[in-house]
Structure 1
Amino acid sequence: MRKKLALALTGVATLFALTACGGGAATPSADLNATLDPANPTIVKVGASPVPHSQILQYIDENLAKKAGIDLDITEIDDYQTPNLALSDGSIDANFFQHVPFFDDQVKTKGYKLEHGAGILLEPLTAFSKKFADAASVTDGALVVLMNDPSNQIRGLRVLESAGLISGIVDGDSVLTVESDEAKNPKHLKFQEVNAEQVPKFYQEDSTVGIAVVNGNYIVQAKLNKDEVLAVEPTKDNPNANILAWRAGEKTAAVAKLDELLHSDEVRTYIKTTWPEGDVIPAF
């Protein structure tokens, strides 16, 4: 089952207290030693970004889960903060939305006790522009909108660096360290930081925006015009693969099975055929 909720950062457990859809035979996944039984599937509650994560989970639920002994209860979450909060407080069993550097930053800064599996997919960041045909035509002082979380912001800055718009970007850089540094920012670009899910809205609706650096899942979700692409994040040796996460010490048999299915040949083929232009690519 897949459902969509716009969740605030308060009252998460209450909002997640919904009845799973999977038939009366399904059982909760809390037992760490549970044996998976296709005749009595174990419910796994998963929080996921709508695109592509929820779509992939829905494919698994409809095609692979039943014979593996699990039943996915999928909740779509539009923001990047709620999924780890919901996982940490026990509202869900796992989440599927984040890359490893974001996960590491959340664990470090918020104290979450979480673990994760191997990389599943990669969504390259892309710089879009309605005003400029290429990097060479970007004018002095152009406004750039990009994500405000540290792990994605440094990725965005490196996309701009790969296009030759800024230079000398190092780990720990942010718009604050780059904007006023003429050596790094010779075009005197101006930066606006917003939540990742808001970047496409600013790009589409604010005529002052010159460039927007957008995360791959939101590119697909907002159906952005590929003719407006200015630069794309390199995929070779990219460390930003998205992963399945769960609470530390609580990798149940059902969660382990889901992680296994997410790394299956069937899912690899599904990703390649569903996003043939490379907006989403397998990382395994």
Structure 2
Amino acid sequence: MRNSVKITTAVLAAGALSLGLTACGGGKDDDAFVVAASPVPHAEILTYVKDNLAKDAGLNLEVKEFTDYITPNTATQDGSVDANYFQTQPYLDNFNKKNHTDIVSVVSVHLEPLGLYSRSLKSADDLKKGATVAIPNEAVNEARALKLLEANGIIKLKSGAGTEATPKDIEKNPKGLKFKELEPAQLPRSLDDVDAAVINGNYAIEADFKPAKDALVLESAKDNPNSNLLAVKKGHENDKDVKKLAKLLTSPEVKKFIEDKYDGSVIASF
């Protein structure tokens, strides 16, 4: 069953508070600027900023890691955290629309190209008729996965298929591929059970893949709208600490850190 973000805001907010307190180990430190982030590469980038840049900028940065794509937004909306860094603009737009939240982008930081991976195949051309391909099961990233396959001639989507496209929007499927929709975090583990999987960049890196080298096909960075953002609740865009962090995340030091650490698997978008 598709798990697009159609859960009510009230339920999500309750979950965010519960998970947020678990992740934080208690209440939020009033003196700290707390940012919710996916572990890789977001939390790693933030930790670099915290350890090397934040003190000199007068920013008391605290990083809280979350492994899902819902709680960071609900925690930002209800004030459990001050900001988040894990998502793209299309995902944020869809989340706000479905959940009646008002979270806004502050600055674009990096792109994690979505890629097609396999334990057994050496090339996307090796996909056999009737092969099973796992894809993210939530809105926007599922559409990104299908568009990646389309861009590489594997399928063709119906005209007008947008950011909420699903396998039902496939117009041509020459190899009769079967699609298995899974939680994004489960996709790397699914590779033992499927022929290939389209995996978000952060989860691919966590699973020790090197997207620039290991992906059978990889999203192009050119004109790509899916850069990852620093985001806050509307009305906080010009807060002092928000502006400090935005400046640090788009600094030459962070750009060099991204280039050196991720070797093309994460690309600075500033």
Give the TM-score range, shorter chain.
Answer: 0.7 to 0.9
Are 2:26 and 1:18 equivalent residues in the alignment?
yes
Q: 1:218 aligns with which of 194, 203, 216?
A: 203
How much has 1:137 moved relative to structure 2?
Answer: 2.3
**Greater fraction helix:** 2
- Distance (whole Å) between structure 1 residues aligned to residue 210 and residue 53 of structure 2: 33
Name the SS of the counterpart of 2:165 in structure 1: coil
Residue 87 of structure 2 is matched in structure 1 by: 98
Alignment deviations for residues 192-219 of structure 1 (CA, whole Å, 9 cap, x no partner): 111111111111x32xx01100111111
How much has 1:8 moved relative to structure 2?
Answer: 5.4
Ranges in structure 2 where 5+ consecutive residues have no aligned partner: 1-13
Residue 33 of structure 1 is matched in structure 2 by: none
- Distance (whole Å) between structure 2 residues aligned to residue 224 and residue 271 of structure 1: 16
Residue 31 of structure 1 is matched in structure 2 by: none
Q: Which has the larger radius of gyration?
A: 1
- Distance (whole Å) between structure 2 residues aligned to residue 273 and residue 225 of structure 1: 13
Alignment deviations for residues 213-250 of structure 1 (CA, whole Å, 9 cap, x no partner): 01111111001376653211111010000000111102
Residue 167 of structure 2 is matched in structure 1 by: 175
Name the SS of the counterpart of 1:150 in structure 2: coil
Structure 1 residues 248, 10: closer, same or farther in 2, change over 3 A? closer
Residue 151 of structure 1 is matched in structure 2 by: 140
Are 2:257 and 1:265 equivalent residues in the alignment?
no
Q: Please tell me the residue identity of whatever aligns with 1:141.
A: G
Q: Give the conservation status (yes or no) of the 8 Å contact 1:12–1:91.
A: no
Ranges in structure 1 where 5+ consecutive residues have no aligned partner: 1-6, 21-26, 29-41
Alignment deviations for residues 115-163 of structure 1 (CA, whole Å, 9 cap, x no partner): 1122100000010122332232211111010101121111101111122
- Distance (whole Å) between structure 1 residues aligned to residue 25 and residue 254 of structure 2: 29
Alignment deviations for residues 29-71 of structure 1 (CA, whole Å, 9 cap, x no partner): xxxxxxxxxxxxx520111000001011111111110111111
Residue 64 of structure 1 is matched in structure 2 by: 53
- Distance (whole Å) between structure 2 residues aligned to residue 229 and residue 14 of structure 1: 36
Output the TM-score relative to the length of structure 2: 0.87
Q: Give the conservation status (yes or no) of the 8 Å contact 1:125–1:216.
A: yes
Q: Give the conservation status (yes or no) of the 8 Å contact 2:140–2:165.
A: no
Residue 248 of structure 1 is matched in structure 2 by: 234
Q: Give the conservation status (yes or no) of the 8 Å contact 1:17–1:91.
A: no
Residue 128 of structure 1 is matched in structure 2 by: 117
Residue 103 of structure 2 is matched in structure 1 by: 114
